[in-house]
Amino acid sequence: MAAPSDMEKEQIFAMAEKEMEYRVEMFNKLTHTCFNKCVENKYKDSELNMGENSCIDKCVSKYWQVTNLVGQLLGNTRPM
Residue range 12-71, pLDDT digits in tens = 999 999 999 999 999 999 999 999 999 988 878 889 999 999 999 999 999 999 988 988
- The fold adopted by the segment(s) 4-75 is Helix Hairpins (1.10.287)
Distance, CA of 65 to CA of 7 (rounded, Å): 36
Closest CA to 25 of 37, 14, 17: 17
Residue 72 pLDDT level (bands cut at 50, 70, 90): confident
Phi, psi of 64 (to 5 degrees): -65, -40
Contact at 8 Å (CB) between 33 and 59? yes
Domain ranges of the chain: 4-75
Q: Distances from the Cα of 39 to the Cαs of 27, 29, 32, 52, 68, in angstroms?
A: 17, 15, 11, 6, 25
pLDDT in tens, 36-46: 999 988 878 88
